[in-house]
Amino acid sequence: MGRAARATGVSALVLLVAAGGYATADAVDLVPGVLTLAPVPPPPEPFPTAPGAVPAPDLAAALPALDDAAPVPAAGPLAQSVAELVTDPRVGPSIGVVVADLLTGEVLASHEPEVPRTPASVAKVVTAVAALSAIGPDATVRTSVVRGGEGQIVLVGGGDMMLAAGQGDPTAVNGRAGLADLAEATARELTLAGTTTVRLAVDDTLFAGPALSPTWDPSHLVNGFTAPVTSLAVDIAKTRSDVEYSPRQADPALSAARAVADALAGYGITVEGEPVRGAAPADAVRLASVESAPLGEVVDFFLHTSDNAITEAVCRQVALDAGLPGSFEGGTEAVLAQARALGVDTSGARLSDCSGLGDGSALPTTTVLDLLRLVTDPAHPELRGVAVGMPLAGYSGTLADRFTRSSAAGLVRAKTGSLSGVTSLAGTVVDADGRALLFAVLADATPPGGQPAPRAAIDAFVARLAACGCR
């Protein structure tokens, strides 16, 4: 055999041996390949059923339904509790009280319920009822930018005083609509039209009359109790975000316009000069707009926080819906008229504003009781947001720091009211037998010393209602 043939044979043998070795290695899974000596795996389990395809179990109620068979408390013990409250020196000599059964509406105990008294922020319940019944909880208001005169655009206020200076937050009530979003959309439209320089006006004519009530103390702007009521504002016209009661801007509409001008600059649009006031043309072309939170959420906000300016802005929306001027006079007339249309007895009732901040408002406790009957009536589901929107004792809103050491915590939902010489509270309470009661207390001649003493007396009275198994 020649040398070349031997070389070829050796090479073939090497390849064959190598191939056999690789096959062996493949069979024992030492190298990649299709051969294996491992046992055959069992068939896979069936693919699990998607959870979304499985019928969900029935939801359990977060709270048990009220038991209509629970005993109604006897009138005698309730009358004794009312008598103890009205003779308590901490509440002063002028006080109206009423306690009624929620399911039947029957008055169980009272003291001078027909006498009109200063309600303070309990007046916000009238505004809440009127807004949700007349306009509806799903309504929103729009802040727009439209074309004005030659080279001009106009920022038009639609009644939203809770605009964000930056981007809007879809989960927020205060700040749902953002001026940065409005500016971005406006800049896009202007750029498409070949416009890069504009003049900016602001139209805040939706609301009429003075922005500040003559019944308000001028110091209220500085101490943060309210703001000028305008058809647009950033963050309720607050100048600070690090304090609960921030001083407010003197001109919220122009301040909002400046925020829009600053935002436009960031999107390549130059605003010449300072923003000025100017009415939008009746047939103006809208460039962009943003929407507020729904009215139901706004009402919940002002009931929880007792914000005066937002209450007044909503009040003006009720007036405009009724065809009246969006002013203090138009608003107060509209909300009382709407309450009367719902069957509320407004005899003796008068409002100087819709928030209860100013001097001159008066409501009988019978009027407040009628409002409470309405918001807890199953025949008026559109008003249920008022009943559940009021602060919860010991947990939320203006009642978060009250009833904290009381067994009534979590059992009382009520609207608070506080002015110099005035302390009020009205809402619902569940007693020890599980019976739901309505109550209203208006004390408008409390002694000097501020809120602690009259609040303690009224809270103790309501706690007695909660503890009552009165037979």
What is the set of active-site residues?
A: 121, 124, 306
Say how far residue 468 (Cα) sits from the centre of its chain.
33
β-pairing, 232-234 vs 160-163, is parallel
Say how far residue 205 (Cα) sits from the centre of its chain.
25
Half-sphere exposure of 240 (CA within 13 A, CB side): 10
**Structure tokens given for 321:** 């819906």
DSSP for 266-289 reads: HTT-EEPS--EE-PPPTTPPEEEE
196-225 exposure pattern, b = at least 16 Cβ within 10 A, e = fewer: eebbbbbbbebbbeebbbeebeeebbeebb
- Can you name the residues that pair with 442 across neighbouring β-strands? 96, 424
- Can you name the residues that pair with 154 across neighbouring β-strands? 146, 201
3-class DSSP assignment, residue 43: coil
Answer for the pair 385, 300: CB distance below 8 angstroms, yes or no: yes
Of 181, 157, 154, give the one whose Cα is nearest residue 167. Answer: 181
Cβ within 8 Å of residue 458, ≥6 positions away: 85, 91, 423, 425, 441, 443
3-class DSSP assignment, residue 13: helix
The torsion angle over the Cα atoms of residues 177, 235, 206 and 134, rounded to 10 degrees, is 70
Residue type, 389: G
Cα distance between residue 190 and residue 186, in whole Å: 6
3-class DSSP assignment, residue 422: strand
User: Is residue 368 exposed (0-12), middle (13-18) or buried (19+ Cβ within 10 Å)?
Assistant: buried
